[in-house]
Amino acid sequence: MTTRIDAAATSVPRRRWFGRDGALHLSDAAARTCLTRGHHRSSELELVINVGMYKDHGLAEPALASMIQEDLGANLGHPPQAGTHGTFSFDVLNGGVGLITAAHLCDAFVGSGVAKLAMIVAGDADPSPRTTRHYPFSAAGGAVLLAHDDHGAGFQRFLFRTYPEDAGLFVASTRWDPHAGRVRRGRNVLELYEAPAFATRCSEEGRAVVSELLAQVGLPPSGIDLLVTSAYPRTFAQDIARGLGIASDRLPRLPAALARAHTAGPIASLEVAIQSGQFARAKHVVFVTAGAGLTIGAAYYRTDHRAAQLAA
Amino acid sequence: MIGDPWMLSEPRPGIGGFTARFESVGRKLPARRVTTAELMASTRHHTSIDLERLTGITERHVCSKGEDSLTLATDAARDCLARSRHPATDLEMVISASITRHDGDAIHRFEPPLSLTIKEAIGAPRAINFDISNACAGMLTGVFLLHDFIRRGVIRCGMVVSGEHITGLGTNAARSIRTILSPQLASLTLGYAGAAVIVERAESGQPGILRTGFTTLAAHSRLCVGLPATHEPGAKMFTRARKIHEVAMVDGPPLVQQILDDAGLRLDEIDWLIPHQTSVRAIRTGEKVLAERLGEHPKHVVVTVDEYGNTASTTLFLALHRYLTERRLARGDKVLLLSVASGLEVGVVVFVVDELEQTHDHAH
């Protein structure tokens, strides 16, 4: 009993005369495309997990996932209907490792059959460009549909490692700056700090975690057919592949608009692989993601026959 | 009930072979207290709101300098471990569920996750850690997740922890409130607290957690919104409290009924109903409506909001801790924890009190 990927989709901001697309819009757009690609209705969703970190206006409550659920029209629950299932939504906040953390949680419910269909949604956009400092990510949304699989295809193993000695290498927080704002009366300011060593340390520990994961599943690096990674730091994917001797053609090539995506980054990589047929051809897929903490989350995924169906 | 149950709930027949149980509950309450009268005296505009009569809240604990979400959560986690037979190294998963993420007085941290700092502080470096955000249902959501992982045998022991540091919400509300209809009125009911709970695999024969269930009634996702203030430090929260209460009264009882049915229990077999603590009046109305709709009464309904205020994600475990400490819960008692939170989230956990009562036998 496993959890397989049924579809993936991303979204980027539209060209507009005024205003901009925020995290909620990007998440909604990716989620709708994902449902269409997966040939599922929103009412089939039993679990929605949002992993986006940078929400419109810095929203702290409610979970953005509940708003996404409402926008998708997924079992809105007024009133709850007897004899049919509802949807449970909440947010996971684990930075760049959010996708793999949420996949681990979904696997608990979907793999076991408690839920049949789950969606992970990721969307980040600068909450307030006038009062944000050093925001490094491109605005992007992403969504992945996860379904129960009786034949063993899907996520096989997850591995998480943290390196708290490197916790200061990437820090994002909102603080009161009494001199910020147009008339310098003070504003809450979102500040992001990235140390020069962050990218290097992500790559070093990412390689170590992938090696540990491969040892656990008995797969040599050369056996990896597809490597799905975080898009940020920019050099992360290439560094992992180079360091482990994995051919560069095993890495999906991201479009420029998604090359600095945060939580949606690995979904963008997955989407490219699915759309190009690379995912369908792959048997052994490794996911590796990196985030502040320093945290590395990795997963081993076996596609088997299911990928061929997906491609068809 | 025929067909699928509305709530995502466990256990399901044939899925997961183990039982989970609450092993230990810890808390941290700041020493300083502020009465409702003192708080209402701080409003900028003259109001005729009798908040104490309206909510039943007489006082709440508030943080002093040097205390924040992280210190409250970490101290609660340490209290929880001090009552536990587990060393911190036994924890395989640490989930932080704080809505407020203050690392410093007015610094809201996004990354790195608070759970990372907490697990390092308590000495659980090998635990998988992540933060969740599910408004006031956060801690119960964490329990829901741990319950599933333990039932399936993926882990044996984990902790859910939260620290709610409400700085700014009350202060900012006090500046703007004029009437009882103010959307920020609910901010004046909030209190500061930390709570932690360890969930572990039960020994054979221990009843432990009988049932867990969660759902999101997303038609009402925008009834309560919290976000950073624009012109002041801290945050603001805008709540349509009356509408949330109406929805909870209409849609809540059938969901509680589902979980009771799944657990093979009637409401009058529940010894202690611990609901989310928003106000004494809301709890009493909810109790009455639940009894009318289900035709039965729980034996007792727990109220702690009068002394603690609404401590957001920690309310259920703060109440559980208090009733364990006061030795009101006895072995074999059936307890129903009920979360109703922004989203609109409804979560239910039903468990049987076992050796948990002994963890509060001695003073800490």
The confidence score (pLDDT) of residue A1 equals 82
Which of A88, A91, A130, A189 to mutate against chain B (most B CBs within 10 Å)? A88
Q: Which residues of B touch A66 (CB under 8 A)?
A: 216, 218, 221, 342-345
Q: Which of residues 214-273 of A touch B (CB under 8 A)?
A: none
d(CA A248, CA A237): 9
Asked if A77 reaches chain B (Cβ–Cβ under 8 Å), the answer is yes
Tell me the two tokens of residue A12.
């980027």
Tell me the two tokens of residue A69.
């659920």
DSSP A61: B
Q: What is the distance in angstroms between the Cα of B135 and the nearest Cα belonging to chain A?
A: 5
Q: In this complex, which of A77, A91, A92 lies closest to B251 when CB atoms are compared? A: A77
d(CA B100, CA B102): 6
CB of B129 closer than 8 Å to CB of A291: no
Query: Within 13 Å and on the Cβ side, how many CA atoms surround B1?
Result: 21
What pLDDT, in 10s, does the model give residues A85-117? 999 999 999 999 999 999 999 999 999 889 999
Is the confidence metric ipTM above 0.90 for this complex? yes
What does the mean pLDDT of chain A come to?
A: 93
Asked if A174 reaches chain B (Cβ–Cβ under 8 Å), the answer is yes
Chains A, B: CB contacts within 8 A come to 242
The confidence score (pLDDT) of residue A84 equals 85
Query: Residue A148: which H helix or E strand, with range?
Result: strand A140-149
CA of A1: which chain B residue's CA is closest?
Answer: B15
DSSP B102: B
Q: What is the distance in angstroms between the Cα of B304 and the nearest Cα belonging to chain A?
A: 23
Q: Which of residues 215-244 of B touch A (CB under 8 A)?
A: 215-222, 224-235, 237
Q: What is the dihedral of CA A96, A98, A99, A105, to 10 degrees?
A: 160
> Which residues does chain B have with pLDDT short of 50?
1-2, 363-364
CB of B2 closer than 8 Å to CB of A83: yes
What pLDDT, in 10s, does the model give residues A177-229? 988 887 888 889 999 999 999 999 999 999 999 999 999 999 999 999 999 99
The confidence score (pLDDT) of residue A16 equals 73
CA of B139: which chain A residue's CA is closest?
Answer: A90
List the one residue out of A272, A191, A250 whose CA is nearest residue B106: A191
- Strand, coil or helix: B274: strand
DSSP B96: E
Asked if A193 reaches chain B (Cβ–Cβ under 8 Å), the answer is no
Q: Find the radius of gyration of the CA atoms of chain A.
A: 19
d(CA B145, CA B199): 10
The confidence score (pLDDT) of residue A158 equals 98
Tell me the two tokens of residue B347.
């979560």
List the one residue out of B20, B9, B315, B356 whose CA is nearest residue B139: B315
d(CA B349, CA B141): 10
Cβ distance of A77 and B100 shorter than 8 Å: no
What pLDDT, in 10s, does the model give residues B170-220? 778 888 888 888 888 888 899 999 999 999 999 988 899 999 999 999 999
- CA B281 from chain centre, in angstroms, equals 18
CA of A47: which chain B residue's CA is closest?
Answer: B8
Query: Residue A22: which H helix or E strand, with range?
Result: none
Q: Which of residues 102-141 of A touch B (CB under 8 A)?
A: 104-105, 108-109, 112-115
A176-180 contacts at long range (C-beta below 8 A, 24 or more positions apart): A176/B106, A176/B233, A176/B234, A180/A131
The confidence score (pLDDT) of residue A141 equals 98
Which is it for the CA torsion B79, B80, B86, B90, positive or negative? negative
User: Which phi and psi angles does A129 have, rounded to 5°?
Assistant: -55, -30
- pTM value is 0.96
Classify strands B300-301 and B108-111 as parallel, antiparallel or unpaired.
unpaired
CA of B237: which chain A residue's CA is closest?
Answer: A61
Estimate the crossing angle of helix B69-83 against helix B114-122, to 10 degrees.
Answer: 40
The confidence score (pLDDT) of residue B175 equals 80
The confidence score (pLDDT) of residue A311 equals 45
CB of A5 closer than 8 Å to CB of A37: no
Query: Residue B343: which H helix or E strand, with range?
Result: none
Per-residue pLDDT, averaged over A148-164, amounts to 95
Kindly indicate the confidence band of residue A55, based on its pLDDT and cuts at 50, 70 and 90.
very high
Which is it for the CA torsion B315, B317, B323, B329, positive or negative? positive
Per-residue pLDDT, averaged over A153-174, amounts to 96
Which is it for the CA torsion A197, A200, A206, A211, positive or negative? negative
Cβ distance of B113 and A54 shorter than 8 Å: no
Which of A93, A158, A182 to mutate against chain B (most B CBs within 10 Å)? A93
Cβ distance of B128 and A160 shorter than 8 Å: yes
Q: How many CB atoms lie under 10 A from the CB of residue A41? A: 13
DSSP A254: P
Kindly indicate the confidence band of residue A309, based on its pLDDT and cuts at 50, 70 and 90.
low
d(CA A174, CA A169): 17
Asked if A95 reaches chain B (Cβ–Cβ under 8 Å), the answer is yes
- Strand, coil or helix: A284: strand
The confidence score (pLDDT) of residue B10 equals 87
d(CA B96, CA B74): 10
User: Which phi and psi angles does A79 have, rounded to 5°?
Assistant: -95, 165
Residue A292 pLDDT exceeds 50: yes
What are the distances in angstroms from CA B193 to CA A91, B7, B117?
22, 29, 18
d(CA A46, CA B7): 9
d(CA A98, CA B98): 17
Cβ distance of B342 and A62 shorter than 8 Å: yes
d(CA B263, CA B249): 22
The confidence score (pLDDT) of residue B3 equals 62
Asked if B251 reaches chain A (Cβ–Cβ under 8 Å), the answer is yes
What pLDDT, in 10s, does the model give residues A235-264? 999 999 999 999 999 999 999 999 999 999
DSSP string of A102-140, one letter each residue: HHHHHIIIIITTS-SEEEEEEEE--S-GGGEES--PBPE
Sheet arrangement for strand B345-352: B8-10, B209-216, B345-352, B334-341, B272-275, B300-301
d(CA B214, CA A89): 9
Q: Which residues of B76-106 are buried (b: 16+ CB within 10 A; e: fewer)?
A: bbbbbbebbebebebbbbbbbbbbbbbbebb
